[in-house]
Amino acid sequence: MTQPFQTDRHPDGKLLNISSGVIASTKVQNSLLSVVEAGEKQMHKFVKERLTTDESKSFYSPISKSKMATFTDMKKQTRVVVQGKKKLVSISAEIVFRRALKIAHVRRDISLQQVLSHPITAVPTSLFHEDGSMRKTVKAELIHVLEKKVAEQSAPPTESPKAEVIIRDVMAEIHSLAINCHTFGDLAQRYTSQLLHCTTKADTVIDVFDQYDQENSVKAEERSRRQAAACGAKQYQVIAGRPLPPWQKFMALSANKTELTDFLCKYVGDHAPTELVNHPEREIYLAGGFINGETTVRLSEHGVEPIEDMFCSQDEADTRMVYHTIQADEAFWHPRSERRGHYKICRHGCPCVSNPLLSTTVTHRQTLDSNG
């Protein structure tokens, strides 16, 4: 419970539910702050229609319900059928509990122990917040699960050979590159130069972006919460000559990120192939950075080519990197010669241009068992 008298800890200019700690949405806040004015209007309407000489309604006529938005309207709504009509209603935990007790009382096959063994909520709180938005999980737990499934693990070589594939999470790198850039064109040029430099460390480089075009996902819910906390954030058109706006506020909006990643991918597509003409063995893949987030393209001496076999709807770059790692493993694993692929998976920067402590290097092929 929030301490109601410690106002210095309350969010500025926001209404707060002191019981749940939920901050009111703009719609609910405007409704609650105008409740006195709305009540006065209802009173004058009641007097005019029922208590004056030219009354148009009987004093005992039903009063229409005031449609004021409250904190209850922020809860997850459930579609139910009432008298043959479908309606969206907010089901409170108290109502669910009362109905469950009544069922346990009138039906012999349902006991009170069964009723209390389930969460008394409109949505499962282990997966969703009270308002119905999905909870963000600890992604590091997936790594621990995969580690337990590794059947074979050989020691990495003392001297790391040249990687065959480098797979990078690009957004962290973009944040670091933007520090010393003045325009979007400067940022695109630095990113392209760094990407081409990575091709000197591996013949194949796969840059993976987060997707920002999916609404119903955990990532989208998390971004919505971040955007709600970002005051004064504006949407910009991303063009080469435009100065970089305040970076944190710019990156707070998903629409800005989509514009930026699409601009960077198109810039690389226009400039990188000419640099790869003298290196036919090198190729670059850009995944998830376009307006259509599923798109993956290959850049080589022949130009830009969409690769439909690598299209992916996963909006998390971390997870999509695993997908492309599996694809790269299948491409470079040859059972007859027992050739082992060497990959560098870069989470926070490319080891060939940044601090090597910020990257993870896979120096050998790890074989998962059949259940993995």
Residue 16 and residue 24 in contact, taking contact as beta carbons nearer than 8 Å: yes
Residue 233 has pLDDT above 80, yes or no: no
Q: For residue 106, give the amino acid letter.
A: V
- Rounded percentage of the chain residues whose pLDDT exceeds 70: 69
Query: If you average pLDDT over residues 335-363, what whole number do you get?
Result: 38
Task: State the residue for tokens 């000419």.
Answer: 274
Local confidence band at 215 (pLDDT 50, 70, 90 cut-offs): low
Residue 230 has pLDDT above 90, yes or no: no
Contacts of 26 (CB under 8 A, 6+ apart): none
Which one, of 206, 251, 211, 212, lies nearest residue 350 by Cα? 206
Query: If you average pLDDT over residues 311-315, what whole number do you get?
Result: 84
- Over the stretch 56-93, which tens digit does the pLDDT of each residue have? 788 888 888 888 888 777 766 666 666 777 777 666 66
Query: 364 — alpha (psi -120 to 50), left (phi > 0) or beta?
Result: beta
Task: Tell me how long the chain is.
Answer: 372
- The rounded distance, in Å, linking the Cα atoms of 245 and 248 is 9
Burial label, 108 (beta-carbon count in 10 A; 0-12, 13-18, 19+): exposed
Local confidence band at 339 (pLDDT 50, 70, 90 cut-offs): very low
- Over the stretch 9-27, which tens digit does the pLDDT of each residue have? 667 777 877 766 667 778 8
Residue 315 and residue 219 in contact, taking contact as beta carbons nearer than 8 Å: yes
- Rounded percentage of the chain residues whose pLDDT exceeds 90: 17
Alpha helix stretches (DSSP H) within the chain: 26-33, 35-50, 93-106, 112-116, 140-148, 170-177, 184-198, 218-229, 247-250, 254-275, 317-332
- Among 3-7, 74-78, 97-101, 367-371, top mean pLDDT goes to 97-101
